[in-house]
Amino acid sequence: MEKIELTKALAQGQQMLAEVTHESGGVRASKCYQCGKCSAGCPVAFAMDKTPREIMRLLQLGLMEEALKSHTIWLCASCDTCSTRCPREVDIAKVMETLRIIAKKKGYVAEKKLDQFHDLFLKSVERNGRVYEMGLVLGRNILGMQPFKDVELSPAMLLKGKLALLPHTIKDNGEVKKIFANVRKRGGKV
Amino acid sequence: MKYAYYPGCSLSSTGIEYDMSTRKVAKALGVELWEIPEWNCCGASSAHLTDHLLALALPARNLAIAEEQGLDMAIPCAACYVRTKATEVEVKSSEEMQKTISEVIERKYTGQSRARALLDVFVNDVGLDSINALVHKPLKGLKVVSYYGCLLVRPPKYGFDDPEDPQSMDKLVEALGATPVDWAFKTECCSGAHAIAKSEVGLPMIEKILAAAKESGADCIATACPLCMCNLDMRQGQAGSKFGRSYNLPVFYFTELMGIALGIKPEELGVNKHFVDASGIIKKLNEAEGRRETA
């Protein structure tokens, strides 16, 4: 990390904190007093480049870009352990979710495979109304350049009737497609 | 007792035995499940990481259909439950949100129809005494660790149970005649979809849970989520070979354990569809049952 002039960063920070609060529907990262309980209990902390506590501190210091470029915001599994335990009642998982949405808009995607998975998932929902798991797994393997991932599980899944070969499309007169379209009309990036 | 039933996408494929056992058990308990016609995916877990409004709108369409019938929703999948509950709570929180959501889904939803977890419905609406009274084949001697996962009891404001040390599934397996085993991983995250998209992160998380279950001395794990089931059952072999261990720990949906205790044939519940063979446990239970009958 390069040298940073904190006075300037802190001034910018107020604006960024306000943006996160607005985008997350009222979560205030400024309330965090850095106890680290979130990071102690986080089941994915072992794989993160910055702990959840560090992400909160970056936001408080106005170093939003650092937070947006981290792998942490993508690796968060949204299990809500941190939010449940936070003594300051900060919904940290919601902050991670919000940072991810902002990062994607700005074109920072530190974890491409995870991002691709979610895009494929939503495409499947928009197209069929439901998730088509077989298509999702195939798409994930092709885009992720790992064509044989989990291939050992497939025959057993088919035999057990756990993988459908064709997608299940619902007859909803395009209602689900309309939901996506209406969200886009309101500025949603999906 | 009648509910709008929302199976969700997983229950028609990887979690098919959760659907089979839910329907059989509900019928045996006298709970009527009206499947929401042409229900759509709730968006879990991708929509809420992509767009807040989309995440609230997708489950709202299902809730609106349930509300037209004047029914609460019964939802087996923990992820579908928590996403649908989030919509219900948001819509109730402000008139503005209610208006926005109704405009996006082009249907009316006022927050009247509630999202309920199937475990909550069985334990708190049907009741443990009524379930216990219907047990034909008590699961005597079976040691079970209850695995709630992360989404069923969190966030605490939605919860019907304690977010750190939940009890409802433990009490349920006890009512079925089994022995609930206490352990520290009841609500630890199984890694969710990370196991699919990023297994180097997912598999160590799965391994920790399996190792803790094994150390507790349990014969099997009970779960209430199709993604937890996939990770603990289907990926048990992958997790084991990565860490050089063999767990041989059958994983059941709590509804399958209920079905077995109520006297429904295991194949009708889908128990034969597991990756980790559960037939040893079924055989042991049958032998114990046989001994009791001859005694």
Instruction: Let me know whether B279 and B134 are in one domain.
Output: yes
User: What superfamily would CATH give domain A6-106?
Assistant: Alpha-helical ferredoxin (1.10.1060.10)
* CA distance to partner chain B, nearest, from residue A110 (Å): 13
B264 plus B202 within the same structural domain = yes
Is B122 domain-assigned?
no
Are B39 and B106 contained in the same domain? yes
At B61, which CATH number?
1.20.1050.140
Domain boundary among B117, B144, B172: B117
Q: How does pLDDT run along chain B (295 residues), one tens digit per residue?
A: 999 999 999 998 889 999 999 999 999 999 999 999 999 999 987 888 888 899 999 999 999 999 999 999 999 999 999 999 999 999 999 999 999 999 999 999 999 999 999 999 999 999 999 999 999 999 999 999 999 999 999 999 998 999 999 999 999 999 999 999 999 999 999 998 888 888 999 999 999 999 999 999 999 999 999 999 999 999 999 999 999 999 999 999 999 999 999 999 999 999 999 999 999 999 999 988 888 777 7
Contact of B196 with chain A, judged by CB distance below 8 Å, is answered with: yes
* CA distance to partner chain B, nearest, from residue A24 (Å): 8
Per the structure, the complete domain to which residue B189 belongs is given by 127-294
B202 and B58 within one domain:
no
Same structural domain, B205 and B64:
no
Does residue B111 sit within a domain? yes
Q: Taking CB atoms and an 8 Å limit, are A80 and B151 in contact across chains?
A: yes
Q: Is A29 exposed, middle or buried (0-12, 13-18, 19+ CB in 10 A)?
A: buried
- Contacts with A78 from chain B: Cβ below 8 Å: 45, 48-49, 192
Q: Where are the domains of chain A?
A: 6-106, 112-184
CA distance A88 to chain B (A): 15
Among B82, B196, B210, B229, which would you mutate to test the A interface (most chain A Cβ atoms within 10 Å of its Cβ)? B196
Q: Which residue on chain B is closest to A117 by alpha carbon?
A: B197
Residue that finishes a domain, picked among B117, B149, B180: B117
ipTM for this model? 0.91
